[in-house]
A and B are shown apart, each in its own frame.
Chain A
Amino acid sequence: MNIVVCAKQVVDVGEIKVNPSTNKPVLEGIPRKISDIDKNAMEEAIRIKEKLGGKITVMTVGPPDARERIKELLAMGADEGVLIEAPENADYHLVSRALARGIEKMGDVDIVLCGEASIDMFSGQVGPRIAGHLRIPQLTYAFRLEADEGKIRADRNMGDTMVISESTYPVVVTVTKEINEPRLPSLMQILGSANKPLNEWKMGDLGLEGEAPRVTEVDLSGVSMERKNVIFKDDLDEAVNELADRLAKEGVTG
């Protein structure tokens, strides 16, 4: 199986603070990481490779420092990495166009694995967009996968319903966080990842020089969570009585 895992470098959303004077979220200086659900996609790719053999390539559209993130996935078990330099004002159109072209450039890809969405933006566009660009089938929101030589079967969480689907190859599969527990690389794997190939492509290499975004961000404003933050500790009896009084006063006790 020739597998591509699409992974995104994101800010650690839990660390974001809103600057009260500008009302903008502060994104500078926040640690970067691989979007959690993309690690589930990576783990699933490793399991498929363990069963059927093949090769795993990690593909990322991002800034130069995303190299370090790709190395984490090489340590986890990917054979090769590709970093596509993110263009200015990259929107979902540009990112997924670049990934789709990258996949075409590689040739003979059987499975494209993505997380259902990235944890920063949670749009869930990239997987279905790649499938749309390549005009191949998509199995979305998979929480269980069974890959065989000729076809792949997915149990999919579609909200009110669970849909069991199968597809021939090539196919795009998006996975949920429930599908598996991503493995931690060993020290040997971390050291070994430095010797694995990590290619860098530019939009121009993919025939996308000057391609324009379809959607641009015109404003980003912070939503501060203002809460009373009245915290009771120490004496529990006093605390529950105080809380019960406050809730009664707020008129929310049913």
Chain B
Amino acid sequence: MVLIYSDTEKGALELLSKGRELADAAGRKVSVVITGPDAGSRAKRFIEHGADRVILAAPSLEGFKAEEIADVLEGIVKDEKEDVILISSTKNGKELAPRLAAMLDAGCVTDATSIDIDSGKLRVERTVYSGNAVAKEEFASTPAVITVPGKAFDPLPPDPSRTGEVIEAAVQPGGHGSRIIEVKKMVSEGVNVEDAEIIVSCGRGFKSSDDLKMLEELADTLNGVTLGCSRPIAADLKWLSDDHWIGLSGHKVKPKLYVACGISGQIQHVAGMRDSGIIVAINKDPDAPIFNSADYGIVGDLYQVIPKLVEALKARK
């Protein structure tokens, strides 16, 4: 009934937790698909975390290519008559799910924040309009393809006594005119803004990358917090790596304190930090939209405000 695929093991374990709940409500089964050469060795872990069945497929596949994985899943969904397909909302998952849905002529919802069966109807919620609204959507047909963001559901605790079936699927991917030439690690500074408790963030108001030292000083005063930034700093100017980028197409964060310095507050940026505890904005433009999204704001030149704020915070230690 429920079929799970993720390009990461952690993602699959999270999806299993929701998949188990949906399947139990209908008295049906949850299967996990794993591909690649050593798939069999990983099967037990999924069974311990709630899978009834682990389907080993396409052992010849190395790495992730959406066209191939979609072929494999299409075959399995048709053979096994699966109704609900849960896929992680990684970039890989988000290019896979709609392709698979089209091949199955199926509905698809990406980045679902809740999934429930309501009077026999599969309903999901997702955030739309850059966080300004939540849409509740209903599937009119099966199969239904849904992608789920990381950490939306906690994995079930492992139960070593659980038993399940491990089967091999015969389905093979077709040939495609695309190929992967190289996979490189993205330039990374090893920063994890998504788990940060306090974030000090910079935007276009900074005149040069050297000036970020000032921001680091503010960060130090607030006990070693994490630096974030808006899109232009990471994507255009490249003063900071993409790990710092907060926004709709960057990272989504929810620290207890978010300090936006020299950030105008484009809705795409706000979409990435609107769930923060307290939001502080420093901007010289009194009409900057960031102030509408702030709990506290200072209208002033950040080159004057930040050093003064550092002093004021130090004086209170």
A residues lining the B interface (CB < 8 Å)? 11, 13-14, 16, 18, 24-25, 91-93, 96-97, 100, 116-117, 119-133, 135-141, 153, 157-169, 171, 174, 176-178, 212-223, 225, 227-233, 236-237, 239-241, 243-248, 250, 252-254
Contact = CB atoms under 8 A, between A and B. Distances in A.
B178 A171 contact: yes
A251 B192 CA distance: 22
A225 B274 contact: yes
B120 interface: no
Interface in B272-317: 274, 277-280, 286, 289, 291-300, 304-305, 308-309, 311-313, 315-316
B66 interface: yes
A140 B95 contact: yes
Give the contact-size bracket for chain B.
Answer: 35 or more
Nearest to A227: B295
Contact of B278 (A11, A92, A229, A250): A250
B316 A119 contact: no
B102 A232 contact: no
18 contacts: A14-B267, A92-B108, A93-B102, A119-B268, A120-B130, A123-B111, A138-B99, A139-B178, A140-B91, A141-B91, A165-B181, A177-B235, A178-B235, A214-B105, A216-B140, A227-B293, A232-B299, A243-B298
A248 B316 contact: yes
Given A222-B132, A252-B256, 7 more contacts: A123-B98, A225-B293, A229-B292, A231-B286, A240-B311, A244-B309, A244-B312
Interface in B55-108: 66-67, 70, 90-92, 94-103, 105-108
Interface of B: 66-67, 70, 90-92, 94-103, 105-111, 123, 127-141, 144, 176-186, 188, 197-198, 222-225, 231, 235-236, 242, 248-249, 256-257, 266-268, 270, 274, 277-280, 286, 289, 291-300, 304-305, 308-309, 311-313, 315-316
Contact of B107 (A119, A138, A174, A215): A215
A158 B298 contact: no
B296 A232 contact: yes
A128 B99 contact: yes
A252 B278 contact: yes
A25 B131 CA distance: 11
A243 B296 contact: yes
A158 B108 CA distance: 21
A24 B67 CA distance: 39
A215 B139 contact: yes
B137 A254 contact: no
Contacts of A178: 235-236
Given A128-B96, A244-B309, A220 B134 contact: yes
Contacts of A132: 70, 98-103
A243 B291 CA distance: 14
Interface of chain B: mostly helix, strand, loop or mixed: mixed
B312 to A, nearest CB: 4
B90 A159 contact: yes
Given A220-B133, A247-B280, A125 B110 contact: yes
Contacts of A136: 177
B273 to A, nearest CB: 11
A120 to B, nearest CB: 6
A239 B298 contact: yes
B297 A232 contact: yes
Contact of B298 (A116, A124, A232): A232
Nearest to B67: A137
Given A16-B129, A153-B181, A236 B134 contact: no
B136 A217 contact: yes
Contacts of B295: 227-230
A169 B177 CA distance: 8
A122 B94 CA distance: 11
Contacts of A236: 298, 300, 304-305, 308
